[in-house]
Amino acid sequence: MSTLLSRVQRQTGRFVLDGLASVGRFADLLVEMARGLVEWRVWLPRTFDEAWSIGVGSLFIVVLISSFTGAVTALQAGYQFTGNVPVYVVGSLVTESVVLELGPVLVGLILAGRIGARYAAELGTMRVTEQIDALESLGRSPASYLLLPRVLACLLMIPMLVIFADVIAVGAGWFIASNSSIGISNEDFTYGSRAYWHAFDGWYSVIKGFFFAAAISLISCYRGFTTRQGAEGVGRSTTGAVVTSSVLILLLDTLLAKLLLVS
């Protein structure tokens, strides 16, 4: 019994120490990036390249996801709101649920898989093949060359992709609502969209996109940058980056709703 207890204590102690060490390493990485900001000649052109790659590369998947999301939301709203509920409510429901929740969260989760996995795998491979050590040995900062461009590109592009996804999803919902058996007119849909719309709703979507971008880029860069133990380590970092940033997106989603919508 006492052996089991001491084993549990040891494991708990190790878990706490590992957790604290990770927090320390993450803080170090943030400090390195803050220091690297002065080398804007290094990170700025790379940020534009990275932003272009994220934006153009993610466009297809974002259009696909958001158009299906808008269409399905409209169809389900049309199915549920029958009888005495006015038909324009479909417009309200599609617009609000897409802008407040579905647009940013689905884009966030998809990009956590797409960009997060890519960053963790790229940086992890660079770490285990000593490319990051090589960069440092040449007196160059990995933060300026590798991390800042990736993080800043995400902070710039993901909120833009969220706006884009919102527009496409609402458009798809509108198209489906007015061209299916729901039979809502264009006027009813726009009336419904405006009925419960607050100017802050659009900003809320962008703010969420920004926070999700920070979560995806920082977590995946951290996981990739601290990869150890060869190919297996790269696999572990990649999976870890996707899982951790997805969970963080859901936590941030709840936290931001509590803080910004119903505080």
Partner 1 sequence: MIEIRNVYKRFGSQVILDGVTLTVQEGETLALLGPSGTGKSVLLKSIIGLIRPERGEIVVDGQIVSRLKRQELARLRAKIGYVFQNGALFDSMDVFENIRLGLTNEKEFKDLDYARKRAAECLRLVNLNPDTMKKMPAELSGGMRKRVGIARAIAGKPKYVLYDEPTSGLDPVNADIIDALVKRLEGELGVTSITVTHDVRGAFRTADRIALLTHGKIVAIGPPEEFRESQVPEVKEFLERDFETASLNGTDK
The yes or no reply on residue 28 touching partner 1 (CB under 8 A) is no
CA distance 141 to 132: 9
The yes or no reply on residue 130 touching partner 1 (CB under 8 A) is yes
Interaction residues for partner 1, span 35-64 (CB under 8 A):
35
* Smaller CB separation from partner 1, 137 or 263: 137
The yes or no reply on residue 135 touching partner 1 (CB under 8 A) is yes
Nearest to 36 by CA among 142, 189, 174, 169: 142
The yes or no reply on residue 8 touching partner 1 (CB under 8 A) is no
Among 53, 131, 190, 226, binds partner 1 (CB under 8 A): 131
> Which residues 6+ apart lie within 8 Å of 110 measured at CB?
58, 61, 62, 65
* Smaller CB separation from partner 1, 97 or 141: 141
* Smaller CB separation from partner 1, 140 or 236: 140
Conformation bin of residue 228: beta by default, left when phi > 0, alpha when psi is -120 to 50: beta
The CB density around residue 183, as the number of other CB atoms within 10 Å, is 11
Nearest to 73 by CA among 100, 95, 104, 105: 95
The yes or no reply on residue 18 touching partner 1 (CB under 8 A) is no
The yes or no reply on residue 11 touching partner 1 (CB under 8 A) is no
* Smaller CB separation from partner 1, 135 or 214: 135
Q: Could you give the residue ranges of the DSSP H alpha helices within 129-227?
A: 131-137, 142, 148-178, 186-195, 199-225
Among 1, 4, 138, 262, binds partner 1 (CB under 8 A): 138
Q: Which among 72-80, 95-103, 124-132, 199-207 is the span making contact with partner 1, rule CB under 8 A?
A: 124-132
Among 26, 61, 114, 140, binds partner 1 (CB under 8 A): 140
Q: Work out whether the CA dihedral 59, 65, 67, 69 comes out positive or negative.
A: negative
Rule CB under 8 A: which residues touch partner 1? 35, 126, 129-131, 133-141
